[in-house]
């Protein structure tokens, strides 16, 4: 309750207006503050399917990249050699098939001639069966040559397909977090060369001490401050890793963010979470005054002003939590610098 009254200074007879309010308890939440870092829930290790030397790396740590950007190249010398060998093998397979088909054609002609002669009883059955067996063998050799040609074509196709793996492009848009390899180093299939973090799904991760876990739950709202951007972002708890670190006795807690504009992985963050609720004495910050190095307020009791020292326990928006003053006391807002302890109100 606020009201205007008039008081008169002992030494000064002029009148001036003052504003007062009554001290009362209010329901407040204890706010826990934690230090964290921005991260992306989608991080990818980028490697190649080839075994070879890294010819060049086109990006550095911290570079912003788009999907499809060229990241690095692997020396294609081995691929070129494999293609050359595959082409040579295909040529041999073609020659082998041609030779097998010619031999099968000759064997078929011999078989037809001996068949006529056998039917006329000019040649013995034994010679005819030899021609028949030879024709069948030549036919099987043609099938084998065709199979070898198909395999040679498949090998050439596979060798040519490897060319695209020599130039590695980014599968996502994001930022380069780390480089695991350098130019001229050997890279093996499946071995990561770069670590890339996507801008999608940016979150904040922090470490919470074991004694605070009881105050947190999935879906609980929080506020995240990003000092680099000088902005506050609304957040929610999306994950609480259930096993505590044996050394630090802390838990990893992850927060989703309502806005991700301007955020990049690795940014420093401060996380504020409302913990347990309680009653506390809150007074307007405008009532606090310093006298002789002592923090306090001026109270009005009937017709007398009194200076009461208080201890500030916690600072809130526009208000402070204090100890040292009783509920129901009437305190002066915006106290003048010339107010004195013991002044009497007329």
Element (H, E) at 54: strand 52-57
The span from the CA of 144 to the CA of 134, in Å, is: 15
pLDDT for 16: 54
Instruction: Look at residue 37 and give its three-state secondary structure.
Output: strand
Residue 4 pLDDT exceeds 50: no
The pLDDT tens digits for 151-168 are 999 999 888 888 888 889
Residues 273, 262 contacting (CB under 8 angstroms): no
**% of the chain at pLDDT higher than 90:** 53
Domain range annotation of the chain: 3-28+279-333, 32-40+198-277, 43-74+168-197, 77-163
Give backbone dihedrals phi and psi of 187, rounded to 5 degrees, phi first. Answer: -120, 140
Mean pLDDT rounded to a whole number for the chain: 87
- φ/ψ of 205, rounded to 5, equals -120, 135
Model pLDDT, residue 160: 85
Q: Output the pLDDT for position 315.
A: 83
Radius of gyration (Cα) for the chain, nearest Å? 43
- pLDDT confidence of residue 24: 92
Q: Which CATH number fits domain 3-28+279-333: 2.40.110.10, 2.40.420.20, 3.40.1190.20, 2.60.40.1120?
A: 2.40.420.20
By C-alpha distance, which of 203, 206, 201 is closest to 172?
A: 201
pLDDT at 37 over 70: yes
- For the chain, percent helix, then strand, then coil, each to nearest 5? 25, 40, 30
Q: Do domains 3-28+279-333 and 43-74+168-197 have the same CATH topology?
A: no
CA-CA distances (angstroms) from residue 195 to 59, 62, 192, 201? 11, 11, 7, 16
Give the pLDDT confidence of 302-317 residue by residue, as tens digits. Answer: 889 999 999 998 888 7
Band of residue 181 on the pLDDT scale cut at 50, 70, 90: very high
CA distance 271 to 287: 30
pLDDT of residue 80: 80
pLDDT given for residue 140 in this prediction: 94
Q: What is the per-residue pLDDT for 245?
A: 65
Rounded CA-CA distance 108/91 in Å is 26
Q: Give residue 209's pLDDT.
A: 87
| Over residues 286-295, mean pLDDT | 92
Average pLDDT value for residue range 23-30: 86
Over residues 134-143, the mean pLDDT reads 94
Give exposure, 286-312, as e/b (b: 16+ Cβ within 10 Å): ebbbeeeeeebbbbbeeeebebbebee
User: Does residue 147 have a pLDDT over 90?
Assistant: yes
Q: Summarize the confidence of residues 100-124 as an average pLDDT.
A: 91
- Please state which of the ranges 67-71, 232-236, 287-291, 334-338 shows the lowest mean pLDDT: 334-338
DSSP string, 287-332: G-EEETTEEEEEEEETTEEEEEE-EEEEE-SSEEEEESS-TT-EEE
Tokens 């904040």 label which residue? 204
Which residues in 254-279 are b (16+ Cβ under 10 Å) and which e? bbbbeebeebbbebebbbebeeeeee
pLDDT band of 330, cuts 50, 70, 90: very high
> What DSSP designation does 262 have?
T
CATH of the domain spanning 43-74+168-197: 2.40.50.100
Cβ contacts of 214 within 8 Å, gap of 6 or more: none
Which pLDDT does position 7 carry in this prediction?
38
Domain 32-40+198-277 = CATH 1.10.600.10: no
CB atoms within 10 A of CB 339: 17
For residue 338, what pLDDT band results from cuts at 50, 70 and 90?
confident
Element (H or E) spanning 45, and its range?
A: strand 43-46
Higher pLDDT, 77 or 40: 40
């Amino acid at each position: 309750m606020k009201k205007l009254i008039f008081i008169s200074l002992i030494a000064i007879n002029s009148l001036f207006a003052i504003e007062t309010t009554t001290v009362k308890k209010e329901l407040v939440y204890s706010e826990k503050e934690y230090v964290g870092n921005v991260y992306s829930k989608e991080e990818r290790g980028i490697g190649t399917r080839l075994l070879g030397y890294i010819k060049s790396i086109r990006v550095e740590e911290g570079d912003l990249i788009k999907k499809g950007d060229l990241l690095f190249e692997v020396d294609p010398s081995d691929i070129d050699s494999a293609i050359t060998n595959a082409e040579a093998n295909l040529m041999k397979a073609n020659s082998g098939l041609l030779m097998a088909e010619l031999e099968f054609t000759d064997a078929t002609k011999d078989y037809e001639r001996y068949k006529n002669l056998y039917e006329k009883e000019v040649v013995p059955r034994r010679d005819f069966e030899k021609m028949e067996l030879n024709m069948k063998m030549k036919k099987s050799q043609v099938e084998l040559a065709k199979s070898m040609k198909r395999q040679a074509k498949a090998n050439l196709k596979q060798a040519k397909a490897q060319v695209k793996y020599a130039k590695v492009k980014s599968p996502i848009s994001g930022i380069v977090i780390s480089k695991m390899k350098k130019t001229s180093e050997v890279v093996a299939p499946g071995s990561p060369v770069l670590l890339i973090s996507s801008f999608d799904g940016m979150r904040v991760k922090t470490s919470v001490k074991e004694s605070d876990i009881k105050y947190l739950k999935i879906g609980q709202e929080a506020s995240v401050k990003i000092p680099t951007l000088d902005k506050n972002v609304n957040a929610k708890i999306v994950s609480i890793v259930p096993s505590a670190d044996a050394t630090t006795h802390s838990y990893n807690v992850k927060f989703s963010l309502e806005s991700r504009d301007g955020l990049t992985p690795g940014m420093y963050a401060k996380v504020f979470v409302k913990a347990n609720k309680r009653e506390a004495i809150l007074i307007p910050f405008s009532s606090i005054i310093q006298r002789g190095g002592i923090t306090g307020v001026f109270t009005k009791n009937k017709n007398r002003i009194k200076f009461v020292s208080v201890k500030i326990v916690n600072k809130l928006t526009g208000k402070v939590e204090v100890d040292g003053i009783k509920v129901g006391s009437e305190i002066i807002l915006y106290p003048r610098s010339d107010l004195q302890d013991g002044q009497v109100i007329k």
